[in-house]
Structure 1
Amino acid sequence: MKTRILCVEDEELLLGDIAEELSDEGFETLTATNGKQAIEILKQQSVDLILCDIMMPLVDGPTTMKLVRERLPQHNEVPFIFLTAKATREDILAGKKLGVDDYLTKPIDYDLLLATIRTRLNQVDRIRETNEERLKRIYRSLKDQHPNHKPLSISLIANMEKYILPIERALGELGCLVEFVHESHLAHRKDITEQNDLCFLVYSKQVHFYLNSLIKAGKENGGGRIVLLCKDSVDQSLKDALLELGIGYTIDYPYPPVEIFKIILKTAQGN
């Protein structure tokens, strides 16, 4: 899967040049010409890094970052890099206080741009790997403290097993009892969420209808919990309805292992 970068820049020629450069380097690029467009994109799409001009019409760079950090928590770990024609000491201090990760000045030095992007992405990867290992150690310690406690039973529901194979392997390594179920079997196994400690469902039309039937019935999730693995196309109202009913959790694509392990740990602790 390609790394996805959102570039927000009101100079359309420069925006095109940056997008082309990133594409040549193997990145997938989303573009917006102002902060308002960027916010709308981020409501629907997951990204790995955000490049954002400071001075823009409608919504400027600092306001865009503030709105992303406050209102779109799914992007909390996404590196944010400001692009600016002038980076005074005051500008840099203001940005740092808001939480910006880096600054790049115009005219753009593309070698520096690419080096900065790769550095920030590598930092995020290292943090995620560290957090994953920490959560795994906590879970294994919990199992050691309660050796007679049965392993968690988990079902993974999707239309193709390959989409969730990394999750399946990771859960297997933790000692969970993992079962793959094709989404077409949901109609015949409506109690699957009550027969397992956790059910991970990859969003699809069939899964959507299944979850809507639970929502309409006002059914809480019995003995199991649902974790909806959300692609970019998942409607926010469905997420909200699931959470309000207490049915379970939602995790946005690309399904960060850290978020999955947090849920595993909570379930193992009985939370």
Structure 2
Amino acid sequence: MAAAATSTSTTQLSAPYRRSSTLQNSNYNKNNNSNKVPSNGVNGDRQVMVSKRGCNGVDNGGGFCWKASFMYWTLEDVAHVARHHWILCLFAVGLLFFMAVEYTLRMVPASSPPFDLGFVATRCLHRLLESWPELNTLLAALNTVFVGMQTTYIVWAWLIEGRPRATISALFMFTCRGILGYSTQLPLPQGFLGSGADFPVGNVSFFLFFSGHVAGSVIASLDMRRMQRWEMAWLFDVLNVFQAIRLLGTRGHYTIDLAVGFGAGYLFDSLAGKYEESKRRTSLLLHKEASLT
């Protein structure tokens, strides 16, 4: 049992300072035995607070302590963190890399069009759609059908199945999108390939930031997963990826519009869930108050 407990503790991120914490705690206990502090009063309360926090006798005067665990790491501890927390290490490397990129990158002048890596990656698709308008129209029509599928499912879940969460998510999302889209109006990308079959129909003006097409698809897919409709969810995810590629190819959205659209779908689905939960709690509270009266 002792070996199993030791093995389990090594999987924690706090493992590197186990040895230092033990040594310092033993020293603290010795000092504590030689310098007893009354358990009553402010000093006694502070001592109890420090001991409960697991501090090593280091107090900044307000009941809080500093424990710089990395100061006691060994090479074995570093290897442990790299092996069991490689995702965090990867993001740490990414932070340092993009800090260097950001501070050494030449900014795009105001007279030049924005740089978009997604436009660079879909350059061939853009040329194909530009030289083949019929294909562009066909893809636009198919994309409009997909948007109709999203809308139909979200409304169906509310009106037919009685589950309004996806509809609430869409309301939150499109309202926020309108506020952000109007606040910062991005220029239409150069080379935009519009189509009368695309949604919005007739190439009317639209907000670039962020993509409502992508966010709406994510909202529908998340609702499908909650209902364990796995095949439908995966279908929507795949179609959403194709939709994003097409939007880049036609220059209908910047890459950042699509990326934030994915995140917005998850964000507003979560907010809609919290909204529903808050309303349920309020309803239960009112019901209890009514039953008591």
For normalisation by structure 2, the TM-score amounts to 0.28
Q: Greater share of strand residues, 1 or 2?
A: 1
Larger-Rg structure = 2
Q: Which has the higher contact order (CA 8 A, sep 6+)?
A: 2
